[in-house]
Amino acid sequence: MSELPISIDKDLCTGCGICVGACPFGSIEMVGDYPEIKDDCRLCNACVEACPEGAITIKETEGEADLSEYRGVMVYAEQRKGVVHPVAYELLGKGRELADQLGEPLFAVLIGSDVKAGAEELAVRSADKVYTYEDPALEDFRDDPYSALMADLVREVKPSLFLIGATSIGRSLGPKLAAVLATGLTADCTGLEIDPETRLLLQTRPAYGGNIMATIICPNSRPQMATVRYKMMKEADVDQDRKGEIVKKPVDMEALPDRVKIIDYQPSPEQVNIVDAEIVVSGGKGLGEPSGFAVIEELAQALGGAVGASRPTVDEGWKEYRHQVGLSGRTVRPKLYMACGISGAVQHLAGMKTSDVIIAINKDREAPIFSVSTLGAVGDLYEVIPILAEKVRKHKGDA
């Protein structure tokens, strides 16, 4: 067995034990006068930073790759049936900011069977250059041909940053592309910024169900890749006066790998998708029983919104997974989010706290949901909601 690449210099160490407390994983223990690092160390760097004596070092072999030729921010514009997914506009919004900070260009790449309208839209939404690949055989997303085209493009254009929406497609495509390019990929980022000193991308993401946040860099390989949560960034505005260039790239389907065949596709029956809904009314374990969702549905219907559900209710089978809001479900950012009988576990809050207005109804005054709500009502949802729904219906009827 080899050694862990982390070591403590006993000449410098004073045995103060600060590192023991600094380790978020409890992997350092005092053994006699000195700290000792256990095998489950994750090399997260927390102790290295905490040590006042500089006694802890993580040994790394320096990368030799020439990174200077990589410039610009590239954004993958996902499309379904020719329609660009709005997460692409969010990536352009963030991408523009990062590109301006670096003083580098912003690129978008769009692959599909009819990409003209989409490319035009991307070009007026702040992309400097939109690369398109168009072929009838590229209508539906498949990992093989899509990632092969994108890998070629990255090798040619050499962007320094590559952003992909963390949709079900993006989460499949991103890792494959990162593995092909032998570069780092940070999953499900909720924050992206440029470190002004190093010009590296600081990628922040939740881990452990949102209980901790980690900031991650990709120092020695390019592009620095990230998948980005939908509904976390602000969309790029349309500016008709500032139109980017559209560059059509050739496609040779014969030369592309394409091992997995799509046999059938069934769109989900849901009329209102919780991610795109402007109003989401969610129910939690406070409903007490599965049939409690009837009252949630009544309110959602009165307001014209979609029904969301907390993880415990989905785990119990009260509601289907597609209704689940939270880190392990969907992130939502509606104009109004109503949390009814939801205590507000960290992982739930992570999926809805950026909503414009949050109203919570809960019996427990101490419920964490009240720490994020614009308005919290301490009461029995079964008593409050029917009265509220009636008021809303009456108001809408009058209007």
Q: Is residue 14 close enough to count as binding other proteins by CB under 8 A?
A: no
Burial-class residue 1 by CB neighbours within 10 Å (0-12, 13-18, 19+).
Answer: exposed
Nearest distance in Å: CB 366, other proteins: 10
Considering only residues 11, 387, 397, 398, which one is a binding residue for other proteins as defined by CB under 8 A? Answer: 387
Considering only residues 168, 245, 288, 290, which one is a binding residue for other proteins as defined by CB under 8 A? Answer: 168
Considering only residues 91, 295, 309, 372, which one is a binding residue for other proteins as defined by CB under 8 A? Answer: 372
Nearest distance in Å: CB 134, other proteins: 22
Distance in angstroms (rounded) separating the CA atoms of residues 392 and 381: 16
Half-sphere exposure of 187 (CA within 13 A, CB side): 10
| C-alpha torsion sign, points 37, 38, 42, 46 | negative
Q: Which of residues 296-355 bind other proteins (CB under 8 A)?
A: 303, 321, 327-328, 335-336, 345-347, 349-350, 353
Considering only residues 268, 271, 289, 398, which one is a binding residue for other proteins as defined by CB under 8 A? Answer: 268
Considering only residues 43, 67, 102, 148, which one is a binding residue for other proteins as defined by CB under 8 A? Answer: 43
Considering only residues 221, 235, 297, 298, which one is a binding residue for other proteins as defined by CB under 8 A? Answer: 221
Query: Closest CB to other proteins among 75 and 339?
Result: 339
Q: Is residue 66 close enough to count as binding other proteins by CB under 8 A?
A: no
Considering only residues 11, 31, 32, 40, which one is a binding residue for other proteins as defined by CB under 8 A? Answer: 40
Distance in angstroms (rounded) separating the CA atoms of residues 230 and 186: 15
Distance in angstroms (rounded) separating the CA atoms of residues 285 and 313: 6
Nearest distance in Å: CB 155, other proteins: 16
Query: Per CB under 8 A, which region of 102-110, 127-135, 231-239, 358-366 contacts other proteins?
Result: 358-366
Query: Closest CB to other proteins among 124 and 272?
Result: 272
Sorted by sequence, the CB contacts under 8 Å of residue 353 that are 6+ apart come out as 372
Question: Rounded to an integer, what is the distance from CA 190 to the centroid of its chain?
Answer: 5
Amino acid at 218: C
Kind of pairing, strands 129-134 and 106-112? parallel
Q: Is residue 39 close enough to count as binding other proteins by CB under 8 A?
A: yes
DSSP assignment letter at 231:
T
Orientation angle between helical segments 168-181 and 143-157, nearest 10 degrees: 50
**CB distance 130 to 108 below 8 Å:** yes
Which residue's structure tokens are 């979609």? 306
Q: Is residue 375 close enough to count as binding other proteins by CB under 8 A?
A: yes
**CB distance 203 to 192 below 8 Å:** yes
**CB distance 37 to 8 below 8 Å:** yes
Q: Which of residues 126-165 bind other proteins (CB under 8 A)?
A: 143-144
Q: Is residue 7 close enough to count as binding other proteins by CB under 8 A?
A: no
Query: Closest CB to other proteins among 174 and 244?
Result: 174
Total residues found in the chain within this entry: 399
Q: Is residue 364 close enough to count as binding other proteins by CB under 8 A?
A: no
Query: Per CB under 8 A, which region of 66-74, 93-101, 247-255, 267-275 contacts other proteins?
Result: 267-275
Q: Is residue 92 close enough to count as binding other proteins by CB under 8 A?
A: no
Size of the site for other proteins (CB under 8 A): 111
